[in-house]
Amino acid sequence: MTDTRSSQKDAYTLILEAIDNGTYRPGDRLVESELAERFGVSRTPIREALQRLETQSLLARDGRSLIVASLDHNQMAELYVVRTELEGLAARLAARHATNEEIQVLQEMIDEDRALLSDPSALARANRRFHKMIHLSSHNRYLVQQLDLVHRSMALMATTSLAAQGRGEIAMAEHQAIVDAIKRRDEDAAYTALRDHISVAFVTRLKLDAQAQI
């Protein structure tokens, strides 16, 4: 019984990571047999993982098939409203609770991520690590859980806002402003800096989506 639970968790995590890293993109069809072969897992835990992902609205039905879900304009706007407030709260709590070591890691992440400005995909992965570190630095497990759910849904967006021309450099400056506020233990400034960062990212994504429809 323990093995079954373990394999189920593994299958779920493997599929979730494949969606998150862009192996499977919105609209892609997921087939049990193909997933089982790809990940070396039996079809039963794959089926259970797919059902779980469908329940979480990360997968959608297309006839009898399951496909990676996509977000329409309203869903994306709703997601950003929630993300903005939760991320801002995480920054506020990080300014209050982060250890000196956590703040050092945040600064080192920014310093290292500057080398990735020419690679939007790598920068997007680094961006997720940076935000996750802020979440953990809030030292609030329930907030971290909610932000994990939000960031899973972010994977349903076809492109990263960091792909926009010049966005990477601006994002690094915004990250620095967030960390500077956390270093000062300025809760209001950290909250505002992170909310502004997410707002700019949302505007950038809206522009990218508008250009894609031309």
Q: How many domains does the chain have?
A: 2
Question: Tens-of-pLDDT digits for all 214 residues of the chain?
Answer: 334 444 445 898 899 888 887 788 888 999 999 999 999 989 999 999 999 999 988 999 988 889 999 888 898 899 999 999 999 999 999 999 999 999 999 999 999 999 999 888 888 889 999 999 999 999 999 999 999 989 888 878 766 677 677 888 999 999 999 999 999 999 999 999 999 999 998 998 888 777 766 6
Q: Are residues 97 and 173 in the same domain?
A: yes
What confidence score (pLDDT) does residue 7 get?
45
Which domain covers residue 84, as residue numbers?
73-212
pLDDT, position 153: 86
Are 102 and 117 members of one domain? yes
pLDDT of 163: 67
Structure tokens, 28: 């892609």
- The pTM score is 0.80
Whole-number pLDDT of residue 214: 67
Shared-domain flag, residues 64 and 89: no
The answer on 186 and 96 residing in a single domain is yes
Q: Does 64 share its domain with 84? A: no
Q: Which of 10, 44, 68 is the last residue of a domain?
A: 68
